[in-house]
Amino acid sequence: MPDIADRQPFEAFETLRPLSGRLSRRHWLAGAGASLTALALPPFAAAQPTEGLTADGFRLLRARPGEARLRGPTAPATPIWGYEGLAPGPTLRARQGEELKIRLVNELPQATVIHWHGLRIANAMDGVPHLTQMEVAPGASFDYRFTPPDAGTFWYHSHFLSSEQMARGLFGALIVEERAAVDVDRDVVLVLNDWRLTNAGAIERGFGNFHDAAMAGRLGQYITLNGEDSLELPVKTNERLRLRIVNTANARIFRLRIAEHVTRVMAVDGQPCPPEVVPDGVLRLAPGTRVDLFLDAALKPGSRAPILVDDLRGGELEIGHLVYGDGAPLRAQPLAAPHPLPANPLPDRFDMAGSLTIDVPLDGGGMAMMMRGGGMGGGMGGGMGAAGFRGHGLPPQDRIWALASVASSGHDGPPMFSVPRGRTVVMNFTNRSAFPHAMHVHGHHFRAFAGNGPALRPYWLDTVIVDPEHSERVVFVADNPGKWMLHCHMIEHMATGMAAWFQVT
């Protein structure tokens, strides 16, 4: 198999700024998040335990205040908001093609909704306030039921006042299991998140403040895996793990690697891809994205290997360890190179000749506002926003970012475009701002072009990083009827204009 590093398509993942130290040239991708509860589960645990269900067959998911020991077992716990009071929330497990029934019960002091990120399900279940449902008031509940068409690693999160609700902990992983067993010894969900905490360990307020919104979004100084300060992941020599990494952070792009191990990407954003060894082992994970890795535990019994992320300053932080047991290896040799995961039923016939092509420049943010003559005080006057953008559903001072020159809430105003079901759509994202953006499309997965020609990168995505002064051209078949959001997954950018919706009729 050719080394991934030889392949042109992956060049797009190189970072703009050279990284110092041990993080080197190439980085795989964009995405990340996970949950503790999954650690003990064998890969093919019953998809839906029948205990714990309501009489009418719903799994309860109560959004409510809780506590999490984010700073380690001895530091005081942090008050959070979480599904079932946990952050991350419980890992939900479903089986491909089988209906999942979830009852959201809102025990928060604010309204809320749940969005099922990456699931190509019926529009009415997509969980976007105003576009697909009304927000669920405190004390009220809402029944979500849908049948996931794709097996893979997905996640769920609040989509209302998300800058606050996600920063407080309202997210969790959703795993859709393949119909047939996958040849791994263990299935491990790793939810990667950052938290902005006060010195006393409370969630820092100031959600969606102007500074965060105009810059990189809300970044936190505490990083957790599965809500733990320093996760210890037990492994046995020659065991094969499937690591399902989910980036649930509001805005942070993580570069993650597992020291001393070869990892293979098996799926991206929930969709299987040709297995590829990660060059240098470094994954670049945008907020909202997932990567499934196979890892063969090749060290000796008794070894420890750190799980590392970049610290945004060229160094690395240890956020957990693989901890090898002292006992005998699980088997004498590691397993042979894996077969690809079974393909999902994605619409992969792109009619380029009949496609609708849309240019979507990405504009705004701190530096751009200066250049456009706007400012914090509300811009150039008239109906113009802080950065001078036309807008829908946002007061002028909140129009900091724009998609295709419009700053929108993502659910007000006319659709960015409307297409009949089955039409091929090409979107050309061009980042004219000083910050990277993670462009996410609801209800569909897309392919990204490898360059200016017709070649596609060898995987599907639901979120793509568009670096400053770069473009990403993506294509998908608009096969899912309804009203779908399209937005930056840096949540503070989404909330200040970098959002839109489109209609499939």
- Residues of this chain that interact with ligand C2O (CB under 6 A) are 115, 117, 157, 159, 288, 440, 442, 485, 487, 489
Which residue of 266, 368, 402, 488 would you call a contact of Cu ion, by CB under 5 A? 488
Strand partners, 362: 403, 431
The answer to whether 401 touches 362, Cβ cutoff 8 Å, is yes
Residue 264 binding target from Cu ion, ligand C2O, none, CB below 5 to 8 Å by type: none
DSSP letter string over 301-323?
TT-EEEEEEE-SSS-EEEEEEEE
Residue 485 binding target from Cu ion, ligand C2O, none, CB below 5 to 8 Å by type: ligand C2O
User: Judged by CB, which is closer to ligand C2O: 117, or 261?
Assistant: 117
DSSP letter string over 371-390?
HHT--TT-TTSTT--TTS-E
For residue 223, the minimal CB distance to ligand C2O (Å) is: 19
The answer to whether 113 touches 158, Cβ cutoff 8 Å, is yes
Where helices occur in 362-484 by DSSP H, the ranges are 365-372
Window contacting Cu ion (CB under 5 A); options: 74-82, 114-122, 272-280, 436-444: 436-444
# binding residues, Cu ion (CB under 5 A): 4
Who's near 163: CB < 8 A, 6+ residues apart? Answer: 207, 208, 212, 218, 250, 491, 492, 495
User: Judged by CB, which is closer to ligand C2O: 264, or 493?
Assistant: 493
For residue 497, the minimal CB distance to Cu ion (Å) is: 10
Residue 493 binding target from Cu ion, ligand C2O, none, CB below 5 to 8 Å by type: Cu ion
For residue 172, the minimal CB distance to Cu ion (Å) is: 23
Who's near 32: CB < 8 A, 6+ residues apart? Answer: 190, 191, 192, 245, 246, 247, 248, 249, 254, 256, 285, 286, 287, 289, 290, 291
How many helices and strands, by DSSP H and E, does the chain display?
4, 32
For residue 433, the minimal CB distance to Cu ion (Å) is: 8
The C-alpha atoms of residue 485 and residue 335 are separated, in whole angstroms, by 42
User: Judged by CB, which is closer to ligand C2O: 128, or 450?
Assistant: 128
For residue 184, the minimal CB distance to ligand C2O (Å) is: 26
User: Judged by CB, which is closer to ligand C2O: 157, or 240?
Assistant: 157
User: Judged by CB, which is closer to ligand C2O: 142, or 350?
Assistant: 142
**482-488 vs 437-441, strand pairing mode:** antiparallel
Q: Is 474 in the site for Cu ion (CB under 5 A)?
A: no
Residue 487 binding target from ligand C2O, Cu ion, none, CB below 5 to 8 Å by type: ligand C2O
Residue 440 binding target from Cu ion, ligand C2O, none, CB below 5 to 8 Å by type: ligand C2O
Window contacting Cu ion (CB under 5 A); options: 12-20, 171-179, 319-327, 493-501: 493-501
As to burial, measured by CB atoms within 10 angstroms (0-12 exposed, 13-18 middle, 19+ buried), residue 250 is buried
For residue 127, the minimal CB distance to ligand C2O (Å) is: 9
For residue 313, the minimal CB distance to Cu ion (Å) is: 21
Residue 488 binding target from ligand C2O, Cu ion, none, CB below 5 to 8 Å by type: Cu ion
The answer to whether 133 touches 124, Cβ cutoff 8 Å, is yes
Q: Is 437 in the site for Cu ion (CB under 5 A)?
A: yes
Q: Is 439 in the site for Cu ion (CB under 5 A)?
A: no
The count of other CB atoms within 10 Å of the CB of residue 380 is 15
Q: Measured at the alpha carbon of residue 258, what is the angle toward residues 178 and 448, in degrees to the nearest 5?
A: 55
User: Judged by CB, which is closer to ligand C2O: 70, or 119?
Assistant: 119
Question: Binding to Cu ion (CB under 5 A): which residues in 159-178?
Answer: none
DSSP letter string over 201-248?
SPBP--TT-HHHHHTT----SEEEETTBSSEEEEE-TT-EEEEEEEE-
Sign of torsion, CA 72 75 80 84? Answer: positive
Window contacting Cu ion (CB under 5 A); options: 78-86, 100-108, 271-279, 487-495: 487-495
User: Judged by CB, which is closer to ligand C2O: 63, or 485?
Assistant: 485
Question: Binding to Cu ion (CB under 5 A): which residues in 1-60?
Answer: none
Cis peptide before 272 (omega within 30 of 0): no
User: Judged by CB, which is closer to ligand C2O: 156, or 324?
Assistant: 156
For residue 71, the minimal CB distance to ligand C2O (Å) is: 26
For residue 255, the minimal CB distance to Cu ion (Å) is: 18
Q: Which amino acid is at 208?
A: G
For residue 437, the minimal CB distance to Cu ion (Å) is: 3
> 């749940």: which residue's tokens?
114
List interacting residues with Cu ion (CB under 5 A). 437, 488, 490, 493
